[in-house]
Amino acid sequence: MAEDEIRKHTKAAISAATGKQHGWKHKLHEILLEVMIIIFAVSVSIWLHNWSDGLKEKKEAKEFLQGLKLDLEVDTFNLVNSKSFYQQELDGINYFLAVAAGQPLSNDSLAKYNFVFSASTNLEANTSRYTGFKGSAKFEIIENKDLLGEIIDLHEVVFSHIQVLDNVFNNYNATKTEPYVFAHVQLDNNFNIRNAEEVVRSSQMKLQMLLLKSLISNSIIPYHQKAIGKCKEVMKGIDDELD
């Protein structure tokens, strides 16, 4: 509609300028009037266009934040489970360190904790929605820049660091503890380990367990707790933004 008005008044301005029935003062007055109407129509058209784009961007931002919160709810659940996995790993290591210090080995505990020397894990955060939004260069439509910064930090720093810690743990078990155990355990005719205490009490195994314990208790579990807290903070920020 605004385009039609602009064309209409542009024709009127041209007609006033080329008409011969009025003097130049009258023509100038009509031309200026039509130009002012055109400027007003253009301004209204631009405002309507920007207003429409603004509504569209607000809708996109809201849908992104709503979807991101759902992703973070799943991520938080997975982080809690991952933290629980590492806590079980730590419990097993502490048990075997107690055996290494002289406590008798229980077959039930051996069966319960023998996984700790070959375990692996990998937290896969739900980042596809975030990555797609980032790739489409739409971050600027998020009005709350503090919240945006928290979202970016969570995905680019926190989740990435969790993956690094997982990789360090997996690599250590795959290249250190698991090969050592497989190289030194002895099995009886029923395929039961018959020298578990000897393996656990070896100096090299004790050192490897102490290093694993330090990694898990000082880095991995505390950082998981930080990541869980960060997810909750971002979800609360999203709720506050959408209220």
Determine contact, residues 124/201, Cβ cutoff 8 Å: no
Residue 191 lies in a domain: yes
pLDDT computed for residue 147 by the predictor = 95
Determine contact, residues 71/130, Cβ cutoff 8 Å: yes
Distance CA 192, CA 142 (A): 60
Report CA torsion sign: 174, 109, 191, 210: positive
DSSP letter, residue 185: -
Q: pLDDT tens track of the chain, all 243 residues? A: 455 555 554 555 555 555 555 544 555 556 666 667 667 766 766 665 665 555 577 888 999 999 999 999 999 999 999 999 999 999 999 999 999 999 999 989 999 998 999 999 999 899 999 999 999 888 989 989 999 999 999 999 999 999 999 999 999 999 999 999 999 999 888 888 889 999 999 999 999 999 999 999 999 999 999 999 999 999 999 999 998
Whether this prediction's pTM lies above 0.85 is answered by no
Residue 37 lies in a domain: no
pLDDT computed for residue 26 by the predictor = 53
Determine contact, residues 10/32, Cβ cutoff 8 Å: no
The residue segments making up the domain with residue 215 are 58-242
The number of domains in the chain is 1
Residue 1 lies in a domain: no
Residue 12 lies in a domain: no
